[in-house]
């Protein structure tokens, strides 16, 4: 989908004006630890929400979601749209293949194209929704 697609009449998309706070359990982890990621979301119109995980991190629980590998990251896309305010949680296992590395959680992205096929959605990164995390060592017994 192109933003200048003539099939989309000008001015018909809702402005979602997202505000998102990304919170997680910390900034230093050992491999194999679980990190709870919480998104506090506020929108002016219904929107779908997703968060980018560092390569190798795996979602293991949380609010209903779909997980997809894209390029060098994993995307966790929440099943239920936010309309107004809402919180979305996901628990992720930390990959330990690169101890001592700094890995970036985020950004959070939103789309007003609720219910559209993935290849028909236009996603927008929300500023200031990234968190740097250090993997300090290998998995503990």
| 93-105 residue pLDDT tens | 988 777 788 889 9
The arrangement of secondary structure in 19-126, i.e. its CATH architecture, is Sandwich (2.60)
pLDDT computed for residue 84 by the predictor: 93
More confident residue, 69 or 1: 69
Query: Do the Cβ atoms of 132 and 102 come closer than 8 Å?
Result: yes
Alpha-carbon distance 94 to 30, whole Å? Answer: 7
pLDDT value at position 1? Answer: 47
- Reference 57, options 48, 49, 67, 42; nearest CA is 67
The rounded distance, in Å, linking the Cα atoms of 131 and 106 is: 7
Q: Per-domain residue ranges for the chain?
A: 19-126
Residues in a beta bridge with 95: none
pTM: 0.84
């Amino acid at each position: 989908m192109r933003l200048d697609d003539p099939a989309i009449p000008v001015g018909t998309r809702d402005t979602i004006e997202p505000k998102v706070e990304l919170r997680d359990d910390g900034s230093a982890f050992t491999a194999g630890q679980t990190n709870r990621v919480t998104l506090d979301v506020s929108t002016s119109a219904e929107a779908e929400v997703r968060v980018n995980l560092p390569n190798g991190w795996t979602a293991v629980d949380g609010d209903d979601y779909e997980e997809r590998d894209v390029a060098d990251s994993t995307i966790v896309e929440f099943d239920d749209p936010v309309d107004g305010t809402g919180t979305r949680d996901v628990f992720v296992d930390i990959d330990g293949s690169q101890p001592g590395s700094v890995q970036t959680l985020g950004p959070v992205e939103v789309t007003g194209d609720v219910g559209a096929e993935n290849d028909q959605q236009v996603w927008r990164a929300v500023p200031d929704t990234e968190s740097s995390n250090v993997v300090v060592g290998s998995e503990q017994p």
